[in-house]
Homo-oligomer: A and B are copies of this chain.
Amino acid sequence: MSNNTYPTFTDVNTLGEFGLIDDLTKDKTTCQETTIKSIGDDAAVIKNTGEVTVVSTDMLVEGIHFDLMYTPLKHLGYKAVVVNLSDIFAMNAVPTQITVSIAISNKYSLEAIRELYDGIYTACKMYHVDLIGGDTTSSPKGMIISVTAIGQARQDDIVYRNGAKKGNILCVTGDLGASYLGLQMLEREKQVYLAHPGVQPELENSQYLIERQLKPEAQAGAIEYFRKMKFKPTAMIDISDGLASELIHICRQSGTGAFIEEGKVPIHPDSERTALEFNLDPITCALHGGEDYELLFTIDEKDLESIRFMPEVFIIGEMTDPSEGITLHTTGGNIHPITAQGWNHFKEG
């Protein structure tokens, strides 16, 4: 009966929790044979086919981990899933199921939540995982998303952070720093927009960086390649906090040192250009930017042949005796110690 041309938004409270779950999950089927019971009982039931189950969980909080001013809800849902799948791949396991819990304030309409779940289900389809459970509830402020990812593997296939040895080769699956620079672009344009709401954002040349920030991918292909080659890394971690921080984790847990060759660290040309635009050193962005969701891994020298035909891999350094510390060999020939600069410290730098 309404004649207005504005879209109408539905108050979530008209559905109740069960109605909302029904709305979000209707017509959704599962794709994994191991999913015996999905949403709709006290708990989900997964068939154990591998020797071990691998579990990882993350919580994303509005205003801390994401800003809805420049994050489309569909992208947010996609990213929330991907960052968890990335942790399962980092164990050299394949994710098969996820649970998603959300708390939302009443500023979110049913249509907004459908957008979020559209992104969640898009990621599920992309990575062949089933959404098998979760919780939906109210929040007094903003949105909170908690995702748990589950995978299975043979016990021997699991790769921990603590298996690197002196002399191992240090590799990464893709370019670094782009996601951080994408975030800088979005933050800058947000400030411009807040000051001058009429101005169009200048993001045309930053497509790649912004996609790396808003819609990252997990490295399913790398794990598939390892399996195909019947080979496994000695240690592995995914890069969520930044190359430096993750390398320090591997070194501490493995009891080694390491060096990275600055000239070998893959940095996308758009990242180079944008870093300079922001008066930032590109290698600093690569070392400390984070949210790249590439895999950092170490391999035995004798396995070099195994990664020769890996579609995307970069050898960036080597594991050393712990007495040699963790260092960056600069293109200028200098040696700098690598420390874990916190995110905040980095921002001030």
Per-residue 0/1 for A1-22: is the Cβ within 8 Å of any B Cβ (1 yes, 0 no)?
Answer: 0000000000000001000000
In the bound complex, CA of A102 to CA of B101 (Å): 13
**Residues from 15 to 62 in A contacting B, C-beta threshold 8 Å:** 16, 36-37, 40-48, 50-59, 61-62
| A175, CB-defined interface residue at 8 Å | no
Q: B46 touching A53 by the CB < 8 A rule?
A: yes
Bound Cα distance from A103 to B145, whole angstroms: 11
Known A91-B41, A141-B140; contact A46-B55, beta-carbon cutoff 8 A: yes
With A137-B64, A139-B64 in contact, do A101 and B41 touch (Cβ < 8 Å)? no
Among A114-129, those with CB < 8 Å from B are none
Q: Is the interface of A mostly helix, strand, loop or mixed?
A: strand
**Cβ of A150 < 8 Å from any Cβ of B?**
yes
A267 to chain B, nearest CB (A): 24
Residues on B with beta carbons closer than 8 Å to the beta carbon of A42: 56, 86-88, 90-91, 161, 236-238
**B contact residues around A236 at 8 Å (CB):** 42
User: A137, A146, A158: which has the most chain B beta carbons within 10 Å?
Assistant: A146
A residues 131-181 near B (Cβ < 8 Å) are 132-135, 137-142, 144, 146, 148-152, 155, 158, 160-161
- Chain B residue nearest in CB terms to A48: B48
Interface size class of A (residues with CB under 8 A): 35 or more
Which of A59, A139, A161 has the most C-beta atoms of chain B within 10 angstroms of its own C-beta? A59
Q: Does A327 contact B (CB under 8 A)?
A: no
Residue A93 CB within 8 A of the other chain: yes
Nearest-CB residue, chain B, relative to A162:
B41
The copy count of this chain in the complex is: 2
A161 partner, pick from B41, B99, B139, beta carbons under 8 A: B41
Kindly provide the distance from the CB of A108 to the nearest chain B CB, expressed in whole angstroms. Answer: 14
Which residues from chain B contact A148 at a C-beta distance below 8 Å? 55, 57, 99, 148
Q: Is the CB of B41 within 8 A of A160?
A: yes
12 further A-B contacts with Cβ under 8 Å, apart from A64-B138, A146-B146, are A16-B342, A47-B51, A48-B50, A53-B150, A55-B133, A57-B101, A59-B144, A61-B140, A64-B103, A139-B144, A140-B142, A141-B141
| Contact sample, A vs B, 29 pairs, CB 8 Å cutoff | A16-B342, A40-B161, A42-B56, A42-B91, A42-B236, A42-B237, A43-B151, A45-B52, A45-B155, A46-B54, A46-B55, A47-B155, A48-B51, A48-B52, A55-B99, A55-B148, A55-B150, A57-B101, A57-B135, A58-B101, A59-B146, A61-B137, A61-B138, A61-B140, A63-B140, A64-B103, A64-B138, A103-B144, A140-B141
